[in-house]
Structure 1
Amino acid sequence: MFVAGRIDAADKIAFYRELAAQYGALIDGERDAIANAANLSALIYDAVPDLNWAGFYFRRAQGELVLGPFQGKVACVRIAVGKGVCGSAVAEGRSMLVPDVHAFPGHIACDSASRSELVLPLWRDGEIVGVLDLDSPLPGRFDADDQAGLEALAAIYVRGSDGSFGL
């Protein structure tokens, strides 16, 4: 049985390196994309301080993102590509680090307590198959170290999971 160890968050680079090692051990031998997404959202939500939401949206052929496994309050089920922070990350093909969601044009407020957001595209074979989305009730919660560490976790998730992810 996998048991997550407590990680010291003082050194973010070391924190995310250890979180990646824990996640790699957690999904070792498991290739199911939904199971791996569920465990990654739970691991992040439990380990990363000051979050109020962590989870996935998967891209569908109709040009929208559909809610996947997550931790936190209930969420928007469908987001059009190009809309909100998640849809913008897909449309622009890049991670979106938003220090103040209220200043982001077209922000979709699924939880009014969210103040900052980090959205990371999930790349498979040159296409974005979904996003990993993190929200915080603190303005400016995320920085470049968070982005790099979570991009690495997103890459481990995609490499370690089978399936079309909905496309």
Structure 2
Amino acid sequence: MFNSVSYTNSPEKDYQLLLKQLEALIEDEKDIVANLSNAAALLNQFLSDINWVGFYLLKEGELVLGPFQGLPACVRIAVGKGVCGTAVSERKTQRIADVHQFPGHIACDAASQSEIVVPIIVNEEVIGVLDIDSPNKDRFDSLDQKYLEEFTGILEGYL
């Protein structure tokens, strides 16, 4: 069961609380769609200054839109293309301060100015990505990256 909580305005403590909330939400559930849906909703509720949060899952060599919160999005993204596809091909987080400076950026939402994409890796295989967009440039910092990587690490144990 999810219990809404008040955050502390200490980013590090708030992220630690977020990780505990995620574990409580998914610990008894094995369905990937249910877990990713709740994870997207939790991040949407927690993060400020974002306009899209969700998942793309790798299917037959391309990323396919999964559970998300926000405006309708690009349905398919080729591996190696855009920020999401690059996160898959490089197998590492992409933290982009200004998406308009990223070669080959795919503009699913013209309002997006910055983006962070974290690959989801299960049994040494990339199975998808967590993608978060913001209407503000330079929205995501190293603390966001650290805890969003921990967030996906928790998810990986349940997928």
Shared fold (TM-score greater than 0.5)? yes
Partner of 1:164: none
Name the CA distance, whole Å, in 2 between partners of 1:133 and 1:7: 23
Moved over 3 A (4+): none
| Counterparts of residues 60-139 of structure 1 (less than 5 Å) | 60-61=59-60, 63-139=61-137
Partner of 1:32: 31
Offset at 1:136?
0.3
Partner of 1:142: 140
Does residue 13 of the first structure (1) align with residue 17 of the second (2)?
no
Alignment TM-score, normalising by the size of structure 1: 0.93
Name the CA distance, whole Å, in 2 between partners of 1:46 and 1:122: 21
Partner of 1:57: 56
Structure number with the bigger relative contact order (C-alpha 8 A, sep ≥ 6) is 1
Superposition RMSD in Å: 0.9
Name the CA distance, whole Å, in 2 between partners of 1:7 and 1:27: 20
Name the CA distance, whole Å, in 2 between partners of 1:127 and 1:48: 28
Offset at 1:60?
1.2
Name the CA distance, whole Å, in 2 between partners of 1:128 and 1:37: 15
Offset at 1:158?
1.4
* Structure 1 gap ranges (5+): 162-167
The 3-state SS of whatever aligns with 2:140 is coil
Offset at 1:105?
0.4
Match for 2:158 among 154, 157, 160? 160
Q: Note if contact 1:98-1:104 (Cα within 8 Å) is conserved in structure 2.
A: yes
> Percent same amino acid at aligned positions?
50
* Structure 2 gap ranges (5+): none
Offset at 1:14?
1.4
Name the CA distance, whole Å, in 2 between partners of 1:2 and 1:45: 14
* Residue type of the alignment partner of 2:45: D
Alignment TM-score, normalising by the size of structure 2: 0.97
Offset at 1:28?
2.1
Name the CA distance, whole Å, in 2 between partners of 1:106 and 1:6: 39
Offset at 1:128?
0.5
Residues matched between the structures, number: 159
Name the CA distance, whole Å, in 2 between partners of 1:123 and 1:15: 25
Name the CA distance, whole Å, in 2 between partners of 1:126 and 1:91: 13
